[in-house]
Structure 1
Amino acid sequence: MWDDIGSDLTIVFTGGDGCFEMLQSEPMLESRVYAWQEIDPMPLEEVLTVIPAFHPVWADADADPDLISMCDHEAAHGNFRAWAKITHHLTVGMKESGRAGVDEDLLRWAYSKLRHRRVA
């Protein structure tokens, strides 16, 4: 940690489920948190605006709003990190299959590649 008050250094902690509890359990870490910020999932209206601007694969004519809506409902759930992972898998799948655009089969294949945590 950095305690030089004359510096403009900023440290940002990010994490998923359980990070709040972990940071709170360590007094030296918690004492350095100036502000807690939780990021909520994007509503569908925002997804339909943000995702086509995020990557060219979603801006193509083949990636219509119904396909984006289906993917958000079935896999991404308004989570930008999930959208980034799905997009990566899509671009790999498009390259490997020689497809020029997104279709329902390729999309389902891409988000089937998402890792799901197992709850013990």
Structure 2
Amino acid sequence: MTFILVELAKFEKPVAAIVTDLDNLLYTMKKLHEVTEPTQYPKFWNEEWLQRAIDELNTRKMTPEERFQFARYTAINAEAVNAEKAAALAIRTEAVRLGLQNGLSVDLVAKINGVSAEMVQRIQHELTAE
């Protein structure tokens, strides 16, 4: 049997540097009690396994009113993340359209925008159908 000891006080990774599930868990354990607004949630807190752990930790010591507020904040955060993803996709799609309309190749447009060539080809097909 192996035991791993972690000193949370020494865990200083910023959100941008967190890559592994262990990092996610350690960050959550250290910072969860400091978060007061849904806008402060790091994106990885929306991962299902971590969300279940957070819910379990939080709901055990909450009053019914606090549970309601937590569920509300979680829903607001999830909605904000989904809206952000949709907005980012819309911006990428428009950038792809502009690149194609200005004569750039499918591969170059895909590379510049960080999307697949298939997505660019789909948008190109939509443009030619218009």
Flag whether TM exceeds 0.5 (same fold): no
Q: Which has the higher contact order (CA 8 A, sep 6+)?
A: 1
Kindly name which structure, 1 or 2, has the bigger radius of gyration based on alpha carbons. Answer: 2
Q: Which structure has the highest helix share of the two?
A: 2
